Amino acid sequence: MGTKSVRLDEDTYAYIEAHKREDETFSEAVDRLTHRPSITDLAGLLDTEDVDTMRDAIDEADERDVEEVRELRERFRDT
């Protein structure tokens, strides 16, 4: 693999240097700090039971939100 020279602002360089691990090169630190996982990297992270639990919690929160909005609407309708 070839190399390239790049110019960095001092604050950017300081950030990378501060977050660089002892066992990695500067290039490896830049690579690690700039790559974010894609949504496909997250596939299979949770098992079916976890997903079902999360969906249930979201559904329950949605139901509570709907009820709170309904109560607020009634309260302000009466005033």
- Report the alpha-carbon distance of residue 45 to residue 55 in Å, rounded: 15
Q: What is the pLDDT of residue 20?
A: 96
pLDDT at 1 over 80: no
Q: Residues 13-62: pLDDT tens digits?
A: 999 999 999 999 999 999 999 988 778 888 888 899 999 999 999 999 99
SS3 content of the chain, % helix, strand, coil (to 5): 65, 0, 35
Q: What is the pLDDT of residue 55?
A: 96
**What pTM, to 2 d.p., does this model score?**
0.46
Q: What is the pLDDT of residue 42?
A: 80
What residue spans define the domains of the chain?
8-38, 46-79
In the 8-state DSSP scheme, what is residue 65? H
pLDDT at 78 over 80: no
- Report the alpha-carbon distance of residue 71 to residue 79 in Å, rounded: 13
